[in-house]
Amino acid sequence: MPAVVIEDVHKKFGNLEVLKGVSLSVEAGQVVAIIGRSGSGKSTLLRCINGLEVFQSGRIEVVGHNLDQDPDHLRSLRKDVGIVFQSYNLFPHLTVGQNIMLAPRITKGVSNAEAKSLADEVLAQVGLSEKIDSYPDNLSGGQQQRVAIARSLAMRPKVMLFDEVTSALDPELTGEVLLVMEKLAEGGMTMLLVTHEMSFARTVADTTVFMHQGKVWEAGPSSELFAAPKTQELRNFIGASKH
């Protein structure tokens, strides 16, 4: 069974229909890049997948959790699905280690010692073991984003969602974050990521989905999609992304 199943999802904000019948299926271990112009519904789709937005019709199932509005279902879903945003949202008054240990301690009730060893493990994964006692303000943007990814990994998610996680970073800091994501992908994590990094989508994502006007306009294996876009809209989008 696929890790993520999205079937004919419609989502409105008031009268504005933002998702107009989106369907998508993601196998376990697959990496899917979502590209498209600003306002095409990419963030809304990701937010629907972990229950941050309510949708009006259609069906979403994520690693066996059905996305109805049952609060118990949502709670258990969120333990399995991590999401990382453009803004890191780390607590400035807590150290890196404390930021990471917080959610496992509160939502899973793990012991302090277990939480600490989790923090050690996920910080090693993002290459920041030596920063465990640092405060977020003393880290670069790229390092803070890697901590945010580590914090999410500490929940041992089965699916990771990334929404433009490098968009606020200077180009020289973008690479280190993309590298962490590439390693996660190689490690077999199921990932959906919204990105403007076309070369990352083309080389790391198995599948790329081009969203346009609230629909999956075009989707396919990344290498094919970029080499031979079928629609004029995707050709224009790819053309505009090359500088």
Judged by beta carbon, residue 13 or residue 172, the one nearer ligand ADP is 13
Judged by beta carbon, residue 51 or residue 136, the one nearer Mg ion is 51
Contacts with ligand ADP by CB under 6 A lie at: 13, 16, 18, 36, 38-44
Question: Which span (38-46, 60-68, 70-78, 91-99) binds Mg ion, by CB under 5 A?
Answer: 38-46
Q: Is residue 166 a contact residue for Mg ion (CB under 5 A)? A: no
Distances (CA, A) of 39 to 35, 113, 115, 215: 11, 44, 39, 11
> Of these partners, ligand ADP, Mg ion, none, which one is at the site of residue 78 (CB under 5 to 8 Å by kind)?
none
Q: In sequence order, which ranges of 21-158 are alpha helices (DSSP H)?
A: 42-49, 71-80, 96-108, 112-125, 141-153
Judged by beta carbon, residue 126 or residue 216, the one nearer ligand ADP is 216
Q: How far is the CB of 132 from ligand ADP (least distance, A)?
A: 33
Return the H-helix or E-strand segment holding 210: strand 207-212
How far apart (Å, rounded) are the C-alpha atoms in residues 163 and 154?
19
Q: Is residue 43 a contact residue for Mg ion (CB under 5 A)? A: yes
Q: How far is the CB of 201 from ligand ADP (least distance, A)?
A: 14
Judged by beta carbon, residue 38 or residue 232, the one nearer Mg ion is 38
Q: Is residue 144 a contact residue for Mg ion (CB under 5 A)? A: no
| Contact assessment for residue 179 and residue 149, using Cβ atoms and an 8 Å cutoff | no
Q: What residues have CB less than 8 Å from 158, skipping those under 6 apart?
A: 3, 28, 63, 80, 81, 190
Return the H-helix or E-strand segment holding 225: helix 222-227
Judged by beta carbon, residue 42 or residue 65, the one nearer ligand ADP is 42
Task: For residue 171, give both structure tokens.
Answer: 């180009």
For strands 190-194 and 207-212, give the pairing.
unpaired
Task: For residue 144, give both structure tokens.
Answer: 């803070």
Q: How far is the CB of 202 from ligand ADP (least distance, A)?
A: 19
Task: For residue 219, give both structure tokens.
Answer: 């989707």
Q: How far is the CB of 85 from Mg ion (least distance, A)?
A: 9
Q: How far is the CB of 153 from ligand ADP (least distance, A)?
A: 23
Residue closest to Mg ion, measured at CB: 43
Judged by beta carbon, residue 43 or residue 207, the one nearer Mg ion is 43
Question: Which span (35-43, 148-156, 197-205, 226-234) binds Mg ion, by CB under 5 A?
Answer: 35-43
How far apart (Å, rounded) are the C-alpha atoms in residues 172 and 160?
24
Q: How far is the CB of 107 from Mg ion (least distance, A)?
A: 26
Backbone angles phi, psi at 190, to 5 degrees: -80, 120
Which residues contact Mg ion (rule: CB under 5 A)? 43
